[in-house]
Amino acid sequence: MKHLKLTIPALLTLAVSILLTACGGPVGGGGSAQPTAFSGTAYGGRQPISGSSVVVYGAGINAGDAPTELGATTTDSSGTFNVSITPPTGQIVYVVITGGNAGNGSSNPAIKLMTIAGAYCTSGSAGCSFPSIVNINELTTVASTAVLQDYINFVPCNSTNITGNTQTGTCVSVPGANDMAKMAGTVGNLVNIVSGQAGDFLTSNTGIASLQTTQQKLNTLADILAACVNSSGNTSSACTNLFKAAINNPSDTLKATDLIAASPVINAKGTALFALLPTPAIFTPVLAAAPSDWTVGGQRYAYTANQSDSTVSSFRLGVINGSLDNDVPGSPFATGSGPASVTVDPSGHYAYVANRYDNTVSAYTLGSDGTLSANGPVVATGASPVSVTVDPSGRYAYVANYSDGSVSAYTIGSDGTLSANGPVVATGSGPISVTVDPSGRYVYVRTKTTTASRPTPSAMMAHSAPMARRWPRAAPRSR
Residue by residue, DSSP assigns 282-350 as SS-S--SS--S----S--EEEEEEETTTTEEEEEEEPTTT--EE---TT-SEE-SSSEEEEEE-TTSSE
User: Which amino acid is present at 156?
Assistant: P
**Reduced to 3 DSSP states, what percent helix, strand and coil does the chain have, rounded to the nearest 5?**
15, 35, 55
The residue extents of the domains of the chain are 36-276, 299-447
pLDDT digits (tens, 9 = 90+) for 91-112: 999 999 999 999 888 899 999 9
Q: Which of 261, 128, 115, 253 is nearest to 193 (CA)?
A: 115
Axis crossing angle, helix 138-147 with helix 209-229, rounded to the nearest 10: 120
Q: Which residues contact 325 (CB under 8 A, 6 or more apart)?
A: 315, 316, 317, 318
* More confident: 466 or 145: 145
Tell whether the model's pLDDT for residue 472 goes beyond 70. Answer: no
Q: Check if the beta carbon of residue 92 is closer than 8 Å to that of residue 180.
A: yes
User: Which amino acid is present at 456?
Assistant: T
Tell whether the model's pLDDT for residue 436 goes beyond 70. Answer: yes
Please give the model's pTM, rounded to 2 decimal places: 0.72
Average pLDDT, the chain: 83
pLDDT confidence bin for 479, thresholds 50/70/90 = low
Q: Which of 53, 49, 54 is nearest to 103 (CA)?
A: 49
* More confident: 337 or 463: 337
Q: Give start and end residues of each alpha helix (H) in 133-208.
A: 138-147, 180-184, 187-190, 200-203
List the single range of 254-263, 361-370, 441-450 with lowest mean pLDDT. 441-450
* pLDDT at residue 322, as a whole number: 60
What average pLDDT does this structure show over 260-275? 82
* pLDDT at residue 470, as a whole number: 27
Tell whether the model's pLDDT for residue 214 goes beyond 80. Answer: yes
Supply the DSSP string of 244-255, one letter for each residue: HHSTT--SSHHH
Q: Across 19-23, 179-183, 257-261, which has the greatest mean pLDDT?
A: 257-261
Instruction: Quote the Cα angle for 292-298-299, to 5°.
Output: 65
Cis peptide before 278 (omega within 30 of 0): no
Distance CA 303, CA 314 (A): 5
Q: Across 290-294, 346-350, 361-365, which has the greatest mean pLDDT?
A: 361-365
List the single range of 116-125, 151-160, 263-272 with lowest mean pLDDT. 263-272
DSSP state of 220: H
pLDDT digits (tens, 9 = 90+) for 389-415: 999 888 999 999 999 999 999 999 988
* pLDDT at residue 450, as a whole number: 54
Axis crossing angle, helix 253-262 with helix 237-245, rounded to the nearest 10: 30
Beta-carbon-side half-sphere exposure of residue 414 (alpha carbons within 13 Å) = 3
Tell whether the model's pLDDT for residue 32 goes beyond 80. Answer: no
pLDDT digits (tens, 9 = 90+) for 17-28: 444 433 333 334
List the single range of 60-64, 172-176, 463-467 with lowest mean pLDDT. 463-467
pLDDT confidence bin for 5, thresholds 50/70/90 = very low
* pLDDT at residue 34, as a whole number: 63
What average pLDDT does this structure show over 280-291? 94
* pLDDT at residue 466, as a whole number: 25
User: Which amino acid is present at 81?
Assistant: F
Q: Give start and end residues of each alpha helix (H) in 67-199.
A: 138-147, 180-184, 187-190
Computed on alpha carbons and rounded to an integer, the radius of gyration of the chain in Å comes to 23
pLDDT digits (tens, 9 = 90+) for 453-463: 554 333 332 22
Cis peptide before 67 (omega within 30 of 0): no
Cis peptide before 332 (omega within 30 of 0): yes
CATH code given to domain 299-447: 2.130.10.10
